Every structure is written in C-alpha cells, then in structure tokens.
Structure 1
C-alpha cells in the first residue's frame, strides 16, 4: 500500500510587519502558488473591487465578488484562487506593527471584523462608501515609501480609518445585534472559547467563567448567533482538528490529546460525527485536493 503524500501547509510570516498594495501588484509578484492553502501569523484584509473566483477560509468557500472585503485572522487556513484581471486592495499587518504604531490590538476585537474561530461573511461595500475607502487605500500604499518621515505611523493611521469605516458599515447591516446584553454575553463566550477550547469542552465550564447558568448561556448564545453554546464548542474543536489535519503531520492520538480529549477513541468518534469522515480520511482528502 502506497503511503499518502506528505504535504505540509506552509505558514507564511511577515517580517516587515505591514504591507499595503493593490491586488494587481500582488498578482505580479506573487510567491505563494495560486490555490495553495497556507496560514499566516498576521491579519489580512482583502478588498475585491473587480473580479471573480473563490476564497476559502477555514474550509468554507466564499465567492470572490465585486466590492466585498474579506477579513482573515492569524492561524486561519485559507487559499485564494482568482480569475485573470482581479482588482482591489490588500493589507497585511501584525499585532506587533499595530503596537509599534500606538494602536492597541484590542482595537481589532472591538471592531468585530476579525472573528478568527467563527465564520463571518465578507462585507459588502455600498456605492456611497467606496470613494472614501479607495482614497484611504491609495494613501496607505503611498505611505509605504521608507523615504517619508514616520511613514509606518502614517500608513497605520490610514489602515485604522479604513477598518473603522468597515466596522461602521458592518454596524448598519439589518438584524445586526448591537448594544445589547445578549451581544456582550455572546462576545465574552466566544472570547473564552477561543482561549480555552483546548481544556474546556462543557457548556457549564464556560457559564461558570461568566457567572451565569448553563441553560441561560445556551439560550442567549442561541438567540444571538443561531447556534447553541454546545454547537459552538463542537464546531471550534472540529475546526481546530481540521487545521491540525491540514497543516501538521500529527497522528489522530496526538491531535486528540492536543485538543484536550482524554481518550483518542472519543475524539475519533467525535470527529467522524461532525465531519462524516474519520480524521485520517479527511487529511488524505485535503491532500489529494491540493496535490
């Protein structure tokens, strides 16, 4: 029996801490092969002004469409395959870059644009907002010239304004839950889940962190997000397992222990129930897709 191909998903670093460019420039100087899954240690903002194709983020396909902005958090696995002639703007930046320019990384959490462990639809930019956003992108790109005094600080300012405007646009979307106690509980739960999912697998454990009952947490999370707290926990564990399957050579047993399962058999049963395929089969499926 032939061994399955050993394909590691590359993890791409950003030594400069910040990049701003047009997508036309990115296509010309592209180093990552088109359609190859990869992870970042930085944030990505991708505004498609014209083009088509597919952008997969954490195993969910999003169509590349005109006037949509895509937000990708560090450690998310994604790949981007566009048809010829794509146009738009690209920002890449690290937390260290933000801090060096006097921007608290908590600012990103407050914006609600980078979800990390939960899927967020790309953001549509209305016609009356495009000119102002384009101007910010053009100015940010111009400020990447090292010959300018305080060029990074200036570029960071334009990036910050761009993100604030996107957050405001997102806040105008109908049915968006804002300024409610339920929303605060949901946000706190998701933050706790992202920090503790390796150790805590029960709703009661997360309810305890927020000093509320498990039933109330489930009720609020379900109302605010459409999924129960238990479903969020299961989805987060499943997502991380898929990431391990994709970007590492860890065995099923090693993955189970890394995710806080005491019994690898329990993890195997959980994964197959969630994905309809066992862990090894999923890994082989992903690798065949990207040979």
Structure 2
C-alpha cells in the first residue's frame, strides 16, 4: 500500500515475502526504511555484512545502505521519504537523529519485547486502515502514526541498548548527523567543531566521557564505510572513488584505506569480487 502526496510525500507499507522481495531493492530518493521481521529464519546482507533476523527483529536503514536479499520469509516494510516525514525536523520530539537512522558505523536493530508486540500490531493495522482513507486529513493522520511508531521504537531501543538520556547525548547526536551529511567534504575534526561552534578539544573531551570512540574515529569509520560500499557495489575506478569521497589524490586515499583495512583499495576490491572477504 503506497501513499503519495501533492508535494512528493511518499509512504509505503507492504508485507514482503520471497516472491516480492525485489521491492526492498527499489531506490527511493531521500528515503528511510524500517524492516520489521514477522517470521524466523530471514537472512539479508547490509553493506557486505550478513544479518540473520528472526521474528520481532526491527532494523532501520537509510538510502545509503546497500541491501542484498539472501532469504526472506516475511518482513513488514515501512518506507517513507524526507518530504513525508523529515527526521531532522522532528528530532527534538522523536529523538531518532543519530539513534535510529543516522548512526555513523552500525545498523541499529532491536527485538520487540513480547509485552510490546500488541502495540506494534495495532499501529500497523491503523496504518493500513488509514491508507484506505481518501479525505484531506489522511496525510496528517499518517504522519502522526509514523511518529508514534518511531517514538515507540526509540523507547525500546534506548532501553535495550542502555543508551543514556537523550539530553546527555545532544552533542554526539548532532556530530553523527553532521558526519553523515558532510563526510565526503570534511575529513577533519576541526571542520565539525566549527560547524557546531565548539572547539576540537571540547568535542574530544565530551566523547571521552560518554563514548568508547573518539570523534576522529567516527569520521574515519564513516569514510571507510563509504569506501568499502563504493569498491564493492560500483564499477568506479580507484581514482574516481578517491575524488568521490573527498581525497585529493590516490596516494593519500590508498594510504588511508590500507591503514584502516589492512589492504589496499584494489586488493580489497579483488578479494570482495572473489568472495574471500568474510564479515561476521
């Protein structure tokens, strides 16, 4: 079931099985995707990392993730674009910028607790009923239900991952979001400190108190993630990739990549093509 609005708003809710799983591969600009697995023994690959998902697992993906389908028994898809619901604009209310979607280096996922499953089921049914409505309040109602769904997910994710109070993480969340937006242009901590009107020292000190990673590590991880994705999933040359992710010359990019990955970009691509890179 798909909703499209007058201003390019897009919402897609669909039950996905093996026969129609090609839907998950569709490229929707500026979209975010929620995968709620409603059966056991599903297997997907995200950015060349294999995920085995059982019933009640929820995974959050952005348009930047590269998804491969290995085996789908049943999963509930909820996909929406920025025009329908902008995560950044609703950050203070929903609290998912830098948490559910825009983490710098890992795919957020959690298991729905049995006692919460009924809430998710009811919300999904309300979505389906509202998608059948055709009055001038439909968009507003659908936005409200999506917001409720995201709030429910955020609460559970916070609890399961033992994430501190959001107010304590404002700086980290903002940093992660800025890295997601600008990692191809800005590679230095000082660049992000300027964007946030902070000093590099202030950012480093704050991260040391609440995170096991430094801000410099997060920047490097995001650049490396994109480098791996581009090497695996595109035919761009090493030179083209160098400029695509913001390096001035191949030598600098190759040195950066080898320092982080242990092999050169060309060696990494060759091994990935041959199927010798194993991710766990």
Residues 1:286 and 1:176: Cα distance change in structure 2 (over 3 Å): same
Deviation per residue, 1:147-167 (Å, 9 max, x gap)? 643545444432222112111
Match of 1:123 among 110, 114, 138: 110
Note if 1:18 corresponds to 2:15: no
Count of equivalent residues: 264
Query: Is the CA contact 2:100–2:154 (under 8 Å) kept in the aligned structure 1?
Result: yes
Partner Cα distance (2:124, 2:224) in 1: 36
Residues 1:38 and 1:118: Cα distance change in structure 2 (over 3 Å): farther
TM-score by length of 2: 0.81
Partner Cα distance (2:165, 2:176) in 1: 16
Q: Offset of 1:58 from its aligned partner? A: 2.5
2:278 is matched with none
Deviation per residue, 1:63-83 (Å, 9 max, x gap)? 212211100012211223235
Match of 1:91 among 65, 78, 88: 78
1:28 is matched with 19
Note if 1:244 corresponds to 2:244: no
2:49 is matched with 60
1:10 is matched with none
Q: What SS does the corresponding residue of 2:83 show, helix, strand or coil?
A: helix
Partner Cα distance (1:173, 1:115) in 2: 18
Question: Which consecutive unaligned segments of at least 5 residues does structure 1 have?
Answer: 1-13
Q: Offset of 1:91 from its aligned partner? A: 0.7
Pairing of 1:1-291 with structure 2 (within 5 A): 17-24=10-17, 27-31=18-22, 40-41=28-29, 42-82=31-71, 86-98=73-85, 106-107=89-90, 110-111=95-96, 112-115=99-102, 117-145=104-132, 148-150=134-136, 151-173=138-160, 175-181=162-168, 183-289=169-275
Query: Is the CA contact 1:74–1:116 (under 8 Å) kept in the aligned structure 2?
Result: no
Residues 1:44 and 1:221: Cα distance change in structure 2 (over 3 Å): same
Residues 1:153 and 1:214: Cα distance change in structure 2 (over 3 Å): closer
Residues 1:179 and 1:167: Cα distance change in structure 2 (over 3 Å): closer
Query: Is the CA contact 1:140–1:156 (under 8 Å) kept in the aligned structure 2?
Result: no
Q: Offset of 1:40 from its aligned partner? A: 4.9
- Range that drifts further, 201-210 or 130-139: 201-210
Q: What SS does the corresponding residue of 1:260 show, helix, strand or coil?
A: coil
Deviation per residue, 1:88-121 (Å, 9 max, x gap)? 42111111233xxxx6752267323112533143
Deviation per residue, 1:203-230 (Å, 9 max, x gap)? 2232233343323322322433311111
Q: Offset of 1:235 from its aligned partner? A: 0.7
Partner Cα distance (2:217, 2:26) in 1: 27
Question: Which consecutive unaligned segments of at least 5 residues does structure 2 have?
Answer: 276-280
Greater than 6 Å deviation, 4+ residue runs: none
Deviation per residue, 1:114-151 (Å, 9 max, x gap)? 12533143122111110011111122123333x64354
CA RMSD of aligned residues (A): 2.9
Residues 1:220 and 1:63: Cα distance change in structure 2 (over 3 Å): farther
Residues 1:104 and 1:236: Cα distance change in structure 2 (over 3 Å): closer
Partner Cα distance (2:88, 2:272) in 1: 33
